[in-house]
Structure 1
């Protein structure tokens, strides 16, 4: 986004950071509130003539799914309601990765985490389905909202290019493969990100003021099992006994989504 950017909530150790732009670290749950404080301050400085409009900054919130789906959801809702002009990028690795990979509202059904371990008492792992954060955010009708994937960089670039023309909240949810938590080979991360899209598990779409369009739809969907088998967090669905009913349930959930879109 360039040097004229101010980031909110970055995991850095003062005074070291990989970013050249300004950044502010606040409590996790209030990331969008911090963004509004920055945005309001910039607007006041411009109004009073103390900041040239050409030197205005883009305000960007970077969070994980634990913040976006759970502990910061109310704060984000407030920022959307007030139409705060900022970017929000959620890196969704589907668990609280920073503290050891505990279950979050983004954790998919039947996956294994530290707090939803699969075993004799509970052969499933996670008992609940992943929240549909896209729909939760879309209900606020923000100017721009999109899902993105590292496997489709052109789609990602196009969406950021489109978003910059809107004033107000611009939100992105990025499915981020996590080798330690997903129990995968780091070199397979790009493959996993692509499989998530090719199997229909991760739909690439955007919404402008609530109106949805899908930006990439696979011509032929691969079986969801191909995606699940690549990840150790789903290994209990295949060994020691194949849980056919659960695998079929996950496939049916994905099929229902796309049937609704294509129907």
Structure 2
């Protein structure tokens, strides 16, 4: 048996790496990131996809990828990755496939799975040192079912399940820190608006073995309520306001790969999105805006303090 024989779906005709005509929202930040990463990784991989927005790319019996694709329930993608990696290793040990026919294993999930439903299975795979790449497209809500609040929803955002008052009253979970606490091989934050930073980090991850996370902010026009043509600009504002730090963890150290020299006020990012309009209209919620700004300021003050200590 070779990797062509255990690919479970046929490919869609495609001009490029991803098929055209896929039923995705215009301006999708997740698809923007996935395009860039797949360009770098190529076809010799098995993508284990948890239920989410990117599930819409594959409509049985077709997939837009040249490699293999396995669909799982939202909480089960890391467990599926374990099974696929174990099966590949067994086939190699038996001589059924050669090293050249071996495939890399990549988990693909949204934030609902990565930050919430699938976190227990992910922790288990890291404990076992599973050799896999985990790509999370973080659109800060359960985007495939109407953009309800998720553990990645930022404080103050309105979603389908937090429509009144301030909006989401909780705090966005720090998935980067949770992964780092497991001491994996590599963790990095990216966004499609900074493709060179993204490409360098994916290349870093490719050269390593063990658990590796690429955590991508994925602006969502439908859930965040902005024009699809503004996806790149929204991604850049997330970085230049300091709300989405670009950083990586390797060899026990966290390094910020892009530090804004003069951070823009966070409201320049917030006011471009309908999910935060209640903080500005019919009157400005000064206390909420100041609170959000203060959180971002504290983060970067801690970064500067840590840099000075070293």
TM-score over 0.5 (shorter chain):
yes
For residues 129 and 153 of structure 1, the distance between their equivalents in structure 2, rounded to whole angstroms, comes to 28
Q: Is contact 2:43-2:65 (8 Å) kept?
A: no
Structure 2 counterpart of 1:99: 145
Structure 1 stretches of 4+ with a deviation exceeding 3 A read none
Query: How far 1:65 sits from its partner (Å)?
Result: 0.2
Structure 2 counterpart of 1:249: 291
Q: Is contact 1:139-1:210 (8 Å) kept?
A: no
Q: What secondary structure, in the 3-state scheme, does the structure 2 residue paired with 1:230 have?
A: coil
CA RMSD of aligned residues (A): 0.9
Query: How far 1:210 sits from its partner (Å)?
Result: 3.6
Question: So what's the TM-score if we normalise by structure 1?
Answer: 0.97
Query: How far 1:218 sits from its partner (Å)?
Result: 1.1
Structure 1 counterpart of 2:239: 197
Question: So what's the TM-score if we normalise by structure 2?
Answer: 0.82
Cα deviation digits, residues 212-260 of structure 1 (max 9, x gap)? 0011111110000100000000000000121000000000000000000
Please list every run of 5 or more consecutive structure 2 residues that lacks an aligned counterpart in the other structure: 1-40, 306-310
Aligned length: 259
For residues 111 and 194 of structure 1, the distance between their equivalents in structure 2, rounded to whole angstroms, comes to 19
1:133 aligns with 2:175: yes
1:187 aligns with 2:229: yes
5 Å matches for 1:1-263?
A: 1-9=41-49, 11=55, 12-118=58-164, 123-263=165-305
Cα deviation digits, residues 186-235 of structure 1 (max 9, x gap)? 00110000000000000000001442001111111000010000000000
Please list every run of 5 or more consecutive structure 1 residues that lacks an aligned counterpart in the other structure: none
Q: Is contact 2:63-2:69 (8 Å) kept?
A: no
Structure 1 counterpart of 2:38: none
